Structures are given as structure tokens and as C-alpha cells.
């Protein structure tokens, strides 16, 4: 099979690379707020290595509003992200860049998913990748919405939640691929599904 040099895999972070953490102020488990809460899923390093070896470009695009919400210091936000990148790349997979939206929903920015600003930034940083053959991989409907709005293929990972199914139905969209976790996506995209 030819290489995958035109395919960028844009990875959501929390729930895709690392486990989410129960948060008393959020309706669902949310980003880790301290380095000692960081737990990259055990399969992620090997999967990222496989995807890198196959020629895919990998980047992260993630909403991280906890600092703007006053729940974390900027230093801790940066330290948590660095720890996730370190652990996720531990087997030799390469994450080319990270694109983080630090705003809250009410800030009205152009980057917070489901808006497409982070995706535009990622493709601008890495010329040569083609959105139509690239993937937005996430665990929330907002990830899928952003990917579809930017003309990408989309993967929705996890068991799904009713709110997300409602969002898909309301917009008459659906993810191109569904799976339990990044292992399923990698099997699919590497042609072994
Ligand atoms: Mg997520």
C-alpha cells in the first residue's frame, strides 16, 4: 500500500489519549488538572508508534478551558499537557504539534470545537496534508462536528452518550467510523479491520 503522506490524524486529547477524571463542577469526567492525575491509556503509545511508522501525520487538537475557568494554573495546564505528550509518545510515536483552545464556551472564539479554528491552524502548520483524506478523531459530538465542518473524515470513539447522539441526529450527521478506542481506529485505518 502506498504511504499515507497526505493523511493527518487530528487527535482529540481527553478520552482519546488519556483517561478523563471525575470533576465536581462538570457534568461529566473532564481533563486531568494535575500531573499526578495523568493516565495515558496503556495502548496509546504503541498505537501512535504504529500510525507514525505507517506514514500518518499526528497532531492533537483539544479544548482546554480549565485555566480560563479558574480551575487550574497555566503552569499546571502546560505541565499536564506535557506529561500526556511525553507518555503518549513513549514508544516512539510522533505528535507533530498540539493545537489547544484555551477559551470558554461563552468567549465566542473561533477555535473551540465544534468550531474549526484548531483544525485550520493544524493544517496551516503542516502543508501537504489534505483534509478530505484526513481524520478528526474524538470522543464527543463536538469533535465530529468540527471534523465534518472542515471537510474531514471523522471517528467517534467510546460508548457514546445520549447528548451526542442527539447532536448527531439534530444536525443529520454521523461519524464515518465508530469504535471503542484508538486501537479500533488504528486497526481500521491501517487496513486491518
Ligand atoms: Mg475528548
Q: For 121-151, write each residue's pLDDT tens digit.
A: 999 999 999 999 999 999 999 999 999 999 9
List the one residue out of 150, 135, 141, 138 whose CA is nearest residue 168.
141
CA–centroid distance, residue 42 to ligand 1 (Å): 17
d(CA 119, CA 106): 20
Mode of pairing for the β-strands spanning 8-11 and 153-157: unpaired
Q: SS3 of 122, please?
A: helix
Residues in the chain: 193
Q: Which pLDDT belongs to residue 25? A: 79
Residue 146 lies in a domain: yes
pLDDT score of 192:
66
Q: Which residues does residue 156 pair with via DSSP β-bridges, in sequence order?
A: 138, 178
Q: 44: domain CATH number? A: 3.40.50.1000
Question: Would 2 be classed as within a structural domain?
Answer: no
- Model confidence at 193, pLDDT cuts 50, 70, 90, reads low
- Looking at the domain assignment, is residue 1 inside a domain? no
Q: Catalytic amino acids?
A: 12, 14
Residue 3 maps to a domain: no
Q: What is the residue range of 144's domain?
A: 8-189
**Would 70 be classed as within a structural domain?**
yes
pLDDT of residue 5: 78
Hey, is 52 helix, strand or coil?
A: helix
**Residues 152-164: tens digit of each pLDDT:** 999 999 988 999 9
Residue 112 domain-assigned (yes or no) = yes
CA of 29 to the centre of ligand 1 (A): 10
Q: How many domains does the chain have?
A: 1
Q: What separation in Å is there between the alpha carbon of 128 and the centre of ligand 1?
A: 26
Q: 29 lies in a domain?
A: yes
Cα(4) to centroid(ligand 1), Å? 25
Dump the DSSP string for 67-103: TTTTSS-HHHHHHHHHHHHHHHTTTS----EEEEE--
Q: Is residue 15 part of a domain?
A: yes
Amino acid at each position: 500500500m502506498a504511504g499515507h503522506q497526505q493523511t493527518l490524524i487530528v487527535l482529540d486529547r481527553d478520552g482519546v489519549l488519556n483517561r478523563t477524571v471525575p470533576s465536581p463542577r462538570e457534568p461529566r469526567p473532564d481533563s486531568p488538572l494535575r500531573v499526578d492525575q495523568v493516565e495515558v491509556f496503556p495502548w496509546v503509545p504503541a498505537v501512535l508508534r504504529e500510525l507514525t511508522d505507517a506514514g500518518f501525520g499526528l497532531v492533537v487538537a483539544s479544548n482546554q478551558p480549565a485555566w480560563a475557568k479558574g480551575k487550574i494554573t497555566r503552569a499546571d495546564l502546560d505541565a499536564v499537557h506535557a506529561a500526556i505528550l511525553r507518555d503518549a509518545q513513549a514508544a516512539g510515536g510522533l505528535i507533530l504539534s498540539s493545537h489547544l483552545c484555551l477559551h470558554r464556551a461563552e468567549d465566542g472564539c473561533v477555535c473551540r470545537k465544534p468550531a474549526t479554528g484548531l483544525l485550520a491552524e493544524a493544517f496551516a502548520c503542516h502543508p501537504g496534508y489534505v483534509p478530505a483524506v484526513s481524520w478528526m478523531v474524538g470522543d464527543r459530538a463536538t469533535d465530529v462536528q468540527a471534523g465534518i465542518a472542515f471537510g474531514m473524515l471523522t471517528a467517534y470513539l467510546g460508548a457514546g452518550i445520549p447528548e451526542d447522539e442527539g447532536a448527531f441526529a439534530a444536525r443529520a450527521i454521523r461519524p464515518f467510523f465508530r469504535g471503542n478506542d484508538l486501537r479500533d481506529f488504528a486497526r481500521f485505518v491501517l487496513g486491518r479491520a
